[in-house]
Structure 1
Amino acid sequence: MGAPPYEEKETCGTICLKYLLFTFNFLFWMAGGVVMAVGIWTLVEKSDYISLLSSSTYAASAYILILAGAIVMVTGVLGCCATFKEQRNLLRVYFVLLLCIFLLEILAGILAYIYYQQLNEELKQNLRETMVKKYMAEGQEHITKAVDKLQQEFKCCGSNGSSDWADSLWINTNDEKQKRVPDSCCKTQMNGCGKRDHPSNIYKVEGGCITKLENFILDHLKIIGAVGVGIACVQVVGMVFTCCLYRSLKAEPY
Structure 2
Amino acid sequence: MALLKVKFNQKKRVKLAQGLWLMNWFSVFAGIIVFSMGLFLKIELRKRSEVMDNSESHLVPNSLILMGILSCAFNALAGKICYDSLDPTKFAKWKPLLKPYLVVCFFFNFFIFFIALICFLMRGSLETTLAYGLKNGMKFYRDTDTPGRCFMKKTIDMLQIEFRCCGNNGFRDWFEIQWISNRYLDFGSKEVKDRIKSNVDGKYLVDGVPFSCCNPSSPRPCIQYQVTNNSAHYSYNYQTEELNLWNHGCREALLLYYSSMMSSMGGVVLFVWLFEVSVMVGLRLLQTALESIANPDDPECESEGWLLEQSLTDTFKSTLESLKKIGKFNQVDAGSEGAEGEEGGKTPAITTVS
**For this structure pair, what is the TM-score category when the shorter chain's length is used for normalisation?**
0.7 to 0.9
Q: Is 1:217 the counterpart of 2:258 in the alignment?
A: yes
Moved beyond 3 Å, runs of 4+: 89-94, 117-124, 134-138, 140-146, 166-170, 176-188, 194-200
CA contact (8 A) 2:39 2:61 kept: yes
CA contact (8 A) 1:132 1:169 kept: no
Q: Residue in 2 aligned with 1:129?
A: 135
Superposition deviation, residue 34 in structure 1: 1.4
Q: Distance in 1 between matches of 2:251 and 2:185?
A: 25
Deviations 1:63-100 (A, max 9, x none): 10111011111222111111122322453454344334
Task: From the superposition, tell whether residues 15 and 145 of structure 1 become closer, same or farther in structure 2 (CA, over 3 Å).
Answer: farther
CA contact (8 A) 2:37 2:265 kept: yes
Paired residue type of 1:225: G
Write out aligned runs for 1:58-69 (5 A): 58-69=57-68
Q: Distance in 1 between matches of 2:67 and 2:165?
A: 36
Paired residue type of 1:215: L
Residue number among 236, 244, 248 corresponding to 2:277 in the alignment: 236
Write out aligned runs for 1:169-248 (5 A): 169-171=178-180, 173-177=181-185, 180-186=208-214, 196-197=224-225, 204-248=245-289
Task: From the superposition, tell whether residues 176 and 92 of structure 1 become closer, same or farther in structure 2 (CA, over 3 Å).
Answer: farther
Superposition deviation, residue 177 in structure 1: 4.2
Q: Distance in 1 between matches of 2:253 and 2:289?
A: 55
Superposition deviation, residue 153 in structure 1: 0.7
Task: From the superposition, tell whether residues 27 and 142 of structure 1 become closer, same or farther in structure 2 (CA, over 3 Å).
Answer: farther
Paired residue type of 1:81: K
CA contact (8 A) 2:109 2:276 kept: yes
Task: From the superposition, tell whether residues 208 and 29 of structure 1 become closer, same or farther in structure 2 (CA, over 3 Å).
Answer: same
Residue number among 123, 130, 139 corresponding to 1:116 in the alignment: 123
Superposition deviation, residue 203 in structure 1: 6.4
Paired residue type of 2:182: N
Q: Distance in 1 between matches of 2:82 and 2:265?
A: 30
Paired residue type of 2:273: A
Q: Residue in 1 aligned with 2:78?
A: 79
Q: Residue in 2 aligned with 1:159?
A: 168
SS at match of 2:122: helix
SS at match of 1:207: coil
Q: Which moved more, 1:89-98 or 1:18-27?
A: 89-98
Q: Which moved more, 1:146-155 or 1:76-85?
A: 146-155
> Among the aligned pairs, what percent are the same residue?
23
Runs of 5+ unmatched residues, structure 1: 1-8, 189-193
Task: From the superposition, tell whether residues 237 and 160 of structure 1 become closer, same or farther in structure 2 (CA, over 3 Å).
Answer: same
Task: From the superposition, tell whether residues 150 and 100 of structure 1 become closer, same or farther in structure 2 (CA, over 3 Å).
Answer: farther
| Structure with larger Rg | 2
Q: Distance in 2 between matches of 1:103 and 1:176?
A: 58
**Comparing both structures, which one devotes a greater share of its residues to helix?**
1
TM-score (structure 2 length as normaliser): 0.58
SS at match of 2:157: helix
Q: Is 1:32 the counterpart of 2:31 in the alignment?
A: yes
CA contact (8 A) 2:166 2:248 kept: no
CA contact (8 A) 1:148 1:184 kept: yes
Q: Which moved more, 1:68-77 or 1:140-149?
A: 140-149
Task: From the superposition, tell whether residues 176 and 39 of structure 1 become closer, same or farther in structure 2 (CA, over 3 Å).
Answer: farther
